[in-house]
Chains A and B, each alone.
Chain A
Amino acid sequence: MNMKRYIIGVLAVAFSFVGAKAQVDRSLAVIKSMLLGFEYEVYAGTNIGGASPLPLPAEIREINSYSPELNLQIGATVTKWVDVQKKWGLSLGVRLETKGMETKAAVKNYGMAIIQDGATVSGRWTGMVQTRYHSQQLVFPLTAVFKAHKRLKVHAGPYVAFAFSNDFDGYVYDGYLREGDPTGPKISFEGDSRANYDFGNNLRHFQWGMQGGVTWTAYRHLLVNANLAWGCNDIFESSFKTVTFNLYPIYLNVGFGYLF
């Protein structure tokens, strides 16, 4: 319930800002900009997705639970139409967003190595892995826009993101480790035994990727957005070798916007 109140709160703030702006809709600057072929939008939405290895290795047997968390997003976009028919344009945006997820996965014979304080534990894990990823980012997308229909805009392009707050932690439980390789000693983790990990400090602050999506003009000013943002670099710093595969942030966001 708290979450819900939180969403309502954020949306209310976002839209009251929009509303206040709307009242001075006819303000000179905006009219001028529109005349020059600029279009302004503000939007709010939610991010659903995760940081995932690609492709999913065969060692991942099951995703037992997945919670996208409530990843809010607010942002603004300015679009410049480049042709007279306003078919083609270029958008520059800025948005503040959270990317997060919580998963429980069952893995089989999963290769892992943890390097800490110069020592290494490596082996094959068979059992459960619980992971929580949470990153707050400031994202700058630059996209090409095509107006496919008078109510529908399609856009795609690259983005860069700066993550200013990062968490990545979890634990393994209910399974066993074969130290070194599958012929190594077997160490069981049952009941309450688990191994915690926290790699938050090893997450990368700078990310980039591609995004693409559609904007549907539901009413004159109300937009409905759907966007897929696909990270192109590993969420971890390249010097970090503990997680032996790359994890790419892939998020679908949906939300509403206001077009001035």
Chain B
Amino acid sequence: MKIFRLMQVMTLFLSVAWLSSCIENEPLNAECDIVSASLPEGLLVRPAEIVDRKDVHSVTFIVKNFVDVTALAPEFEITPGATIDPASGTVRDFSEEQEYTVTSEDGQWSKTYTVIAKHDDPIALKYSFENVRVVDANSQGGKCDEFLELSPTDPTIINMIWASGNQGFGLTNGKKGPETYPTYQADNGVVGRCAGLVTRSTGTFGSMVGMPLAAGNLFIGKFDMTNAVNKPLEATQFGTSFYYVPIGLRGYYRYTPGEKFMELVNRKLVEVPGRTDECDIYAVFYERTADMEYLDGNNVLSDDNPNIIAVARLDEEQRKGAADWTHFDVEFKYRPDKSLDPEKLENGVYALAVVMTSSIEGAKFSGAIGSALFVDELEVVCL
């Protein structure tokens, strides 16, 4: 037996040595990202927002009102070994958007980022979901809808882009079109078209990563694709600067829960007999702090979140469904011992998140496939 083991050890050693000897020199980096972007301290309302998607590569600086955007020298951190043109720290006129090209260390890949520096444009308060643009959702030719709000004063300017998890779903969805996504523009709204949110199966690929379903969701904030698999609750980053005092959230919705409520247990869906899916529509008014620029799936409705000032939310009955278009009007409930500071309000320190989902537990990948929520003529009522 000893000889046997000796031989095994020897051959193991030889084969590992053989395999290791075949390892070639490390290839140069192929990535060309802007990893972070900054302006001198005190100029920004909030940290720069970097969007790195299939079709959009952009950096947006929201600068304070006193800042002159005609001469700014943003600094960029890029993928190790990559180069950026013009160089980081170059003074440029940002009264128009500027382009920067990042080229990878291996020289084979490059991306052109659009860099914008602007003063904050307070968000619109009424949402009719009439405006969408169709965007790439993956490299296979898949496309999904992205809802836009146009500036009430100048309809050629985009005031706000709604976020959703569509880009995450896109990974699993091949070359299919917008209406196969969890979030899409649906026909037959109360007026014109409306927002359609449907809980869908993510198929084989979703199962591979232990995320077998995706609830339709639409929210003010951004979807952090990088964390979509990793930390899905943190991938939905809710909120943007808000300059008003909200008192109510109203609009129209209709909701039909899917047939079987499924719960995620050990990366697989298990039916929960007797449970019916619910939708959710809510708005959260909160104070932005350095450690909580956005709210996320972990803390957006937490009772003990110290940043939250007020919440407006469908009540339990309303969340169960409404077969036909139904009007809702819910109040912002201000939390006790919270007061508003007018100066903070003016400086965009407060923020608002509006969130809609077709499955209340969708963030945990539980819900009923087929649950469908439609929302239209949504409005945040302010003082």
**Contact A109-B24, Cβ < 8 Å, known A48-B8, A187-B171:** no
Q: B203: CB under 8 A from chain A?
A: yes
At the interface with chain A, which of B10-18, B279-287, B289-297? B10-18
Q: Nearest-CB distance from A182 to chain B (Å)?
A: 4
A186 — nearest CB in chain B belongs to which residue?
B226
Contact call A182/B205, Cβ cutoff below 8 A: no
Q: Which among A61, A68, A109 has the highest number of chain B CB atoms within 10 Å?
A: A109
CA distance A118 to B140 in the complex (A): 12
- B230 partner, pick from A57, A114, A193, beta carbons under 8 A: A193
A47 — nearest CB in chain B belongs to which residue?
B11
**Contact A193-B229, Cβ < 8 Å, known A68-B12, A117-B204:** yes
Q: A59: CB under 8 A from chain B?
A: yes
A residues within 8 A CB of B109? 181-183
Q: A233: CB under 8 A from chain B?
A: no
Q: B167: CB under 8 A from chain A?
A: yes
> Interface range on chain A: under 10, 10 to 19, 20 to 34, or 35 or more?
35 or more
Contact call A109/B19, Cβ cutoff below 8 A: no
Contact call B26/A61, Cβ cutoff below 8 A: yes
- A254 partner, pick from B7, B20, B30, B31, beta carbons under 8 A: B7
CA distance A235 to B3 in the complex (A): 31
CA distance A49 to B15 in the complex (A): 7
A residues within 8 A CB of B54? 179-180, 184-185
Contact call B174/A120, Cβ cutoff below 8 A: yes
Contact call A61/B30, Cβ cutoff below 8 A: no
Contact call B174/A119, Cβ cutoff below 8 A: yes
Q: Nearest-CB distance from B104 to chain A (Å)?
A: 7
In chain A, positions 172-217 with a C-beta closer than 8 Å to chain B are: 176, 178-191, 193-197
Type the 1/0 row for A112-131, where 1 means its CB is closer than 8 Å to any CB of B: 00101111111110000000
In chain B, positions 14-53 with a C-beta closer than 8 Å to chain A are: 14-16, 19-20, 22-27, 29-33, 52-53
Contact call A186/B225, Cβ cutoff below 8 A: yes
CA distance A50 to B15 in the complex (A): 9
**Contact A48-B230, Cβ < 8 Å, known A119-B173, A120-B174, A123-B139:** no
CA distance A234 to B238 in the complex (A): 48
B residues within 8 A CB of A184? 54, 139
In chain A, positions 1-37 with a C-beta closer than 8 Å to chain B are: 4, 7-8, 11
**Contact A108-B27, Cβ < 8 Å, known A48-B15, A182-B109, A193-B209:** yes
Contact call B104/A186, Cβ cutoff below 8 A: no
CA distance A123 to B170 in the complex (A): 13
Contact call A7/B4, Cβ cutoff below 8 A: yes
**Contact A183-B140, Cβ < 8 Å, known A48-B11, A60-B23, A68-B15:** no
B9 — nearest CB in chain A belongs to which residue?
A48
CA distance A7 to B229 in the complex (A): 43
Contact call A56/B24, Cβ cutoff below 8 A: yes
Contact call A109/B204, Cβ cutoff below 8 A: no
Q: Nearest-CB distance from A4 to chain B (Å)?
A: 8
A residues within 8 A CB of B32? 182-183
B204 — nearest CB in chain A belongs to which residue?
A116
B176 — nearest CB in chain A belongs to which residue?
A119
Q: A252: CB under 8 A from chain B?
A: yes
CA distance A106 to B237 in the complex (A): 31
A117 — nearest CB in chain B belongs to which residue?
B204
B209 — nearest CB in chain A belongs to which residue?
A195
Q: Which among B26, B111, B138 has the highest number of chain A CB atoms within 10 Å?
A: B138
Pairs A–B under 8 Å by Cβ, sample size 9: A52-B19, A58-B27, A63-B19, A120-B140, A178-B31, A185-B54, A190-B231, A193-B230, A254-B11
Question: Which residues does A use to contact B, with CB under 8 Å?
Answer: 4, 7-8, 11, 46, 48-50, 52, 55-63, 66, 68, 108-109, 114, 116-124, 176, 178-191, 193-197, 252, 254
Closest 9 CB pairs of A and B: A180-B139, A119-B174, A182-B30, A58-B24, A56-B22, A48-B11, A116-B204, A188-B230, A254-B7
